[in-house]
Structure 1
Amino acid sequence: MRHLAYAAALVACLAVTVPLVPAFGLQRVRRVRVLAVAICCAAAPFVVWDVCATRAGQWHFDVGQVLGVRLLGLPVEEWAFFVVIPFAAIACYEAVGALLGRRGR
């Protein structure tokens, strides 16, 4: 079960943040193209750094805590991280804005 640790953490992040979208009517998060561009802009430099650092041996992933599927040397969970965490951050930011009455600004 340890090999599911990273994936489980990402699923937990989604389980907490996805319900914020309908609960607070987060329209900005529902704009898939805009959300995808924001996530790609945030992820791109970190993916490049991650791939380079992993190849150089400056960074590694515990093989016992990942599924083992890799793309460009990065576990599939790491690729998911670069989507899940920015989504969670944007959803939380928008939910707090809704709570504080800053909807639509």
Structure 2
Amino acid sequence: MTHLRYVLLLAACLVGTLPLEFVLGTHVYRRWRRLCTAVLPVAVVFVVWDLLAIRAGWWHYDPNQLIDITLPGRLPIEEVLFFLVIPACAVLTLEAVRVRRPDWLIGDEPEPADP
């Protein structure tokens, strides 16, 4: 069961934030292009980073914690999923804050029009 720990943690993150999509109506998953624009570039950078660190021998993963699906470069699938799931959950949480507290400025609001 320990080999599922990483995947189960990622699944719990998704399940734990999923109500924000439907109960609060954040519409993050409905706007999948916007989500991909936010998540994919960063995921690519970190995947490359991990691949370089693995190749140099600076980074490794405990095989007892993994499900034994390894991508080229000895990168565990769980690591790629981490770089997709956790940022998606963070975006979902941020959008939930926007729904509940629309008066809170986050920093990406459009500039007010000149009167």
TM-score w.r.t. structure 1 length? Answer: 0.90
Unaligned runs of 5+ in 2: 110-115
How many correspondences in the alignment?
A: 104
Larger radius of gyration: 2
Q: Percent identity?
A: 43
Which segments of structure 1 move beyond 3 Å, counting only runs of 4 or more? none
Q: Which amino acid aligns with 2:54?
A: T
The structure richer in helix per residue is: 1
Q: CA deviation at 1:14?
A: 0.5
Partner of 1:82: 83
Higher alpha-carbon deviation: 36-45 or 58-67:
36-45
Partner of 2:112: none
RMSD: 1.6
Distance 2:45 2:68 in 1: 23
TM-score w.r.t. structure 2 length? Answer: 0.83
Q: CA deviation at 1:17?
A: 0.9
Distance 1:89 1:28 in 2: 11
Distance 1:58 1:71 in 2: 18
Unaligned runs of 5+ in 1: none
